[in-house]
Structure formats: structure tokens, C-alpha cells
Structure 1
Amino acid sequence: MEGKSALFRTFAGLNSIPIVLDTTDPDEIVETIIRLRPSFGAVNLEDISAPRCFEIERRLIEALDCPVMHDDQHGTAIVVLAALKGAARHLDRDVAGLRVVISGAGAAGVACAKILRAAGVADIVVLDSKGIIAADRPDLNEFKTDLATWSNPRNLHGGAAEALDGADVFVGVSAGTVAESAVATMADDAVIFAMSNPDPEIHPDVAAEHAAIIATGRSDFPNQINNVLAFPGVFAGALDAGARRITEGMKLAAAEAILAVVGDDLAADYIVPSALDPRVAPAVAQAVADAARTEGVIA
């Protein structure tokens, strides 16, 4: 978290303080942050596992009159959407028509599914450690049950092999591995975002045998999907506008701004800017502030 504080300062000119809580109890976390609120203009939640992270974020958004965002969820989701829009544009595809498979139903996976849905993607299949999330699975918690009501429109069952058959996009946020035989059944001109770090779900060299565009969470391969492209600018824009909260529209605007920085340089190995590109945070901040004003969430 000290590193993220440095990134906030470097890219967005924001001062932040890493506060570590010696508890995993949602009630204690929420109460502590509410009591600390008068000292801070915004709250960036970090390293809270699912499903507790969903409840904690929801309760804090309801309780506080300032921007709150769990970066592990929404920072990842924003950059994934920007990257997918870049990939689709390069391949001359419509994002809404893509079949997307997300491996991982934790904080990042659920947030990615939600933002892709908000961006118009209709066919999203999510995998957890037990396989495809489907409405008739009896072992789902309340958050996965909700996910099952609007994902998996073809009612698929099974595991990665069944999910990836004919899929256009793979988004890996699971720390698991995916067999090459399953990846080989994806559609032509497939897109693979193998984001587990340091070991991608499928190694880029292997993925290149089956995909047109590949992204990872690593800096030593092209197309690094890194949250630093999102969170400094999102918070700077929200604070500049005096926003009371961070909305879905503000997140979508952030994704568009990230992609806009790429501009005419868009290529298979350049669908998102470098994580260190100094143009990104100001562009994201402006887009987020404009969206906040448009949506009327300013104080």
C-alpha cells in the first residue's frame, strides 16, 4: 500500500496514507473507516478478499459522503474494459457481440463481469474453482447467485473446456492454469488476457499459438493490464469534481479515457498505454470529473 501511495502522488498529485487494520471482521472495518472519514477526502480499499469486499464496499458507499472504491475490484475492471475495447477496435469487432469467459469469481472477476455487462457485452461466462457458475448450482453464495441471474446466457455447465469452446475472449484473474487444449478451441482471432501474476493462466508464448491479441499482468510482456492506469486518475477526477461517490458511468468514462491515450498508435501489442505513461492519469481524471458532473453526483 505504501507503493500505491507513491503512485497516487506521482501520477495524480494526491497525498494518501496507508492504514492497515488488524481485523478481518466487516463490522469492525466499516466502523473504523466511518470514524476516520473526517480526516480524508476519499477511501481506496485494498486487499480485502471476496465475498467480504462486496459487503464492506457497499456499506461504506452507503454510509459515507465521499468517493469509495475497492481498487482490487474496479481498478482491474476499468483497465480490462479499456484493453478489451482496444482489442476489439484493432480486430474490427463489436464489443457487445463478443463471447467472454472470465476465470475467477472473486473481487476482480465479479467486477470485470459487471463492467463488461455495463459496456454492452451480453454473453459472459464466469468460472470459479468448481467450474462454470450456473443458476442451478447448489453451492453458490449470495454474490455468485446474483451473478448467475444475468451471466451464462447459454446455460453452460462444466469447466474451462466447456466455457472456452468457441469463446472470443478469455479474462484470467484466478491464479489458476488453463490447459492449452481448451484454449485451442476458442474462436478465430481470439483475445487472451492472462492476468495472474507472476504466472499467467496460460503463458503468452503458448497463447500466441491460438490468439490474435494477448495481455498479461506482467511488465515484461506487451499489453500490461495494470491498475495504475485507473486508480490515480479516478480518485483525482472524483475529488476535483467534488463527487460524493464513484458511479458506473465514471468507471466507463475512465476506461474510454485510457483507450483514448493509445489513439492512432493502436496495435495488437499496444491496446493499452504503458503503466508509466504520464498522460493517462490526467486524461482519466478529466473524463471522470466530467462524468460525475453529468450524472449529478457532486456535492
Structure 2
Amino acid sequence: MHDDQHGTAIITSAALMNASEMIGIKIEDMKIVVVGAGAAAIACSTMYKELGVKNLIMCDSKGVIHKGRTDLNKYKKEFITQTDITTMEEAFKDANMVLGLSKPGTFSQEHIKLMSEEPIVFTLANPTPELFPEEVFEVKPKAIVGTGRSDCPNQVNNVLGFPFIFRGALDVQARTINMQMKICAAKAIANLAKEPITEELKESFGNLTYGKNYIIPIPFDKRLMVEVSSAVASSAVESGVARVKDFDLEEYRKKLISMI
């Protein structure tokens, strides 16, 4: 597992799970645009397909990755669109989600205008996102927006996952971190956002409640270690990659709780 690739995939998947629930559209029914075709974009797109996404259009610096392109490497070829879409404008038309893993300026408010009425917009270029939340809201007031920034709601930060994913994997001596474990980690992160935040967090961050401005937990939520590590450890055991025997999930959770 590589954090910048698979960590990003896991956290954005968690955010996608909750955002899709909020807008009332199943993940498998979504049209998703991925802007960027590097390692993180490939990992995210691969995981989205595992979650059931069928209509995914990937764009690199030269535009839509389509069957007419002759300049694609083997990784990009896996994501050639099965539609007749060849332009960014066509890609964004009625799209339910865009994931930006590129740089500022790769898409604009004009592209966002083409999306569905209640789009999911994750602009994760750092330190400056492709579009800031306020720019998205100007053209799509009902959007759900996430960035990589700590000064904006819905910070999509890999630290929500990787320390606890490795904790769970190492504690059961997992031979690998497989897709089942990654999906379980994403679900654990998504589910934690639906729980009331702790009094400790309220003192610093106010009364955050599950909704469009709080679709994933904040990185300071200590319960992440309990929920994510136990989900990953349990999944490793269930999928047969753990080397420990007699794993007791309840006792393991108690141990993790005692550490926070």
C-alpha cells in the first residue's frame, strides 16, 4: 500500500459513500469525472470501480482518455471511456461527481455549471485546489465540496486513514493490504462521521454534525484508531491474509480504546 495512492483512494471513497447517500444517488448509478491521471487518480478510479462505479471518465493533461487516443500508457488504457465522450465539456455534462487530482485551472466554474444540480466536487490539488468551495457554490449552491485544505469544510486528508490502516494490518500480521481491507477502512471512516462528535472535539471545533459540510471525520477524532484499525484487522482475518490466530475483535477494540 502506498499512502499517496491508496490512502487517497480510501479517504475519497469514504467521502463518496456519504456524499452519495446525501444526494440520494447510488454509487453504481453515478457519472464520475476524474481530472488527473497520475498514481493517485489511477488508485482512486480502481477503487471506485470496486465500489460499483460503471460510468467513469478520466481526463489527463491532454483531455478525455478515449478510444481515439494513441498516446496512452498501459495504466491509462485501463480507463478508456466506453462512451463516445471526447471533450471535457461532454465529460462534465450531467456528471454527479468530479474528483480533481491535478492543478489549479484544469477545470473551471463553466465546467461545474454543466454538472448535475447537486454535484459532488472534490478539488484536491494542493496547496491550491482546482476550485475553492466558494467558487463552486457560486454556480452550484447545492454542491457537496471537499478539498485537501484544513481551513475548508470536508478536508479530504489521508491522515484519516493510513496510520490506523497500518495499525490494524500490523496487529494481525497481515501479509498484504487487499481491496477488501481498503473498502472496510473506507466504510469505517464514513460511518464514524455519522456518530455524534465527542465533547473534547466540540470544545475545539464546535458541534459538528453529519451533513454536507461534515461528510467525513476531522483528523483529530481519536476514535478513528479504534474504528479503522479494528475494521482493517477484522477484514484481514476474514479475507485470510492475517497470520495471527484466535483473533478476538471485542478484546482488540477494548485494547485500542484503552490507548486513546
Distance (Å, rounded) in 1 between the aligned partners of 2:72 and 2:175: 33
Q: Does the Cα contact within 8 Å between 2:57 and 2:79 map onto a contact in 1?
A: no
Distance (Å, rounded) in 2 between the aligned partners of 1:78 and 1:197: 18
Q: Does the Cα contact within 8 Å between 2:6 and 2:43 map onto a contact in 1?
A: yes
Residue 205 of structure 1 corresponds to 134
Distance (Å, rounded) in 2 between the aligned partners of 1:79 and 1:108: 11
Out of 18, 21, 26, which is 1:86 matched to? 18
Alignment of 1:1-299 (within 5 A): 69-148=1-80, 152-158=81-87, 160-177=88-105, 178-209=107-138, 210=140, 211-264=142-195, 265-299=209-243
Deviation at 1:174, TM superposition (A): 0.7
The one-letter code matched in structure 2 to 1:236 is: R
The one-letter code matched in structure 2 to 1:203 is: F
The one-letter code matched in structure 2 to 1:166 is: D
Distance (Å, rounded) in 1 between the aligned partners of 2:70 and 2:158: 34
Q: Does the Cα contact within 8 Å between 1:217 and 1:224 map onto a contact in 2?
A: yes
Distance (Å, rounded) in 2 between the aligned partners of 1:100 and 1:146: 16
Task: Name structure 2 gaps, 5 residues minimum.
Answer: 196-208, 244-260
The one-letter code matched in structure 2 to 1:123 is: N
Encode CA deviations 1:60-79: one digit per residue, 9 max, x unaligned: xxxxxxxxx11110000000
The one-letter code matched in structure 1 to 2:149 is: R
Distance (Å, rounded) in 2 between the aligned partners of 1:175 and 1:272: 23
Deviation at 1:101, TM superposition (A): 0.4
Deviation at 1:176, TM superposition (A): 3.7
Distance (Å, rounded) in 1 between the aligned partners of 2:145 and 2:79: 26
Distance (Å, rounded) in 2 between the aligned partners of 1:155 and 1:286: 44
Distance (Å, rounded) in 1 between the aligned partners of 2:222 and 2:124: 23
Deviation at 1:116, TM superposition (A): 0.5
Aligned length: 227
Identity score, percent: 39
Distance (Å, rounded) in 1 between the aligned partners of 2:52 and 2:78: 18
Distance (Å, rounded) in 1 between the aligned partners of 2:58 and 2:225: 30
Distance (Å, rounded) in 1 between the aligned partners of 2:76 and 2:22: 33
Distance (Å, rounded) in 1 between the aligned partners of 2:84 and 2:187: 31
Encode CA deviations 1:211-250: one digit per residue, 9 max, x unaligned: 5210000000000000001101110111111110000010
Q: Does the Cα contact within 8 Å between 1:86 and 1:266 map onto a contact in 2?
A: no
Deviation at 1:195, TM superposition (A): 0.8
Deviation at 1:96, TM superposition (A): 1.3
Q: Does the Cα contact within 8 Å between 1:195 and 1:225 map onto a contact in 2?
A: yes
Distance (Å, rounded) in 2 between the aligned partners of 1:139 and 1:176: 24
- What is the RMSD computed on CA atoms of the aligned residues? 1.2
Task: Name structure 1 gaps, 5 residues minimum.
Answer: 1-68
Which segments of structure 1 move beyond 3 Å, counting only runs of 4 or more?
A: none
Encode CA deviations 1:73-119: one digit per residue, 9 max, x unaligned: 00000000000111111222211111110111001100110111000
Distance (Å, rounded) in 2 between the aligned partners of 1:240 and 1:165: 46
Deviation at 1:281, TM superposition (A): 2.3
Q: Does the Cα contact within 8 Å between 2:94 and 2:116 map onto a contact in 1?
A: yes
Encode CA deviations 1:113-147: one digit per residue, 9 max, x unaligned: 01110001111111100001113310001111123
Encode CA deviations 1:6-54: one digit per residue, 9 max, x unaligned: xxxxxxxxxxxxxxxxxxxxxxxxxxxxxxxxxxxxxxxxxxxxxxxxx
Residue 20 of structure 1 corresponds to none
Deviation at 1:282, TM superposition (A): 2.1
